[in-house]
Amino acid sequence: NAGVTQTPKFQVLKTGQSMTLQCAQDMNHEYMSWYRQDPGMGLRLIHYSVGAGITDQGEVPNGYNVSRSTTEDFPLRLLSAAPSQTSVYFCASKSRGELFFGEGSRLTVL
């Protein structure tokens, strides 16, 4: 049972480039979410999904897109990366109120 798996673990982008952070879970959880963690800011919710085909914005959605075509996968897309998006990104799924996190993806935008 792998839990929540995120790829890549590390990524360096140039300003304006696009990329997708992948997230997959094998626990059949309906709820999935993306957070970013920044020093002094704590964890902030970017987008979340309550099931396949349903997504919604969190606290800091600007500059990010998501989709949920299957229960297992919840990719996060950066359309045009900016230095302000340098952060550590965490994917999490939730069941019965308990949140389970992936190991994180560390993104640097130059």
Q: How far is the CB of 83 from other proteins (least distance, A)?
A: 21
CA-CA distance, 100 to 24, in Å (whole number)?
A: 12
- The DSSP code for 73 is B
Interface map 36-75 toward other proteins (x if CB under 8 A): ----x-xx-x--x-x-----x-xx----------------
Under a CB-based contact definition with an 8 Å cutoff, are residues 99 and 2 in contact?
no
Q: Does 90 bind other proteins (CB under 8 A)?
A: yes
Q: How far apart are CA 89 and CA 79, in angstroms?
A: 15
> Contact between 27 and other proteins (CB under 8 A)?
no
Name the minimum Å distance from CB 106 to other proteins: 8
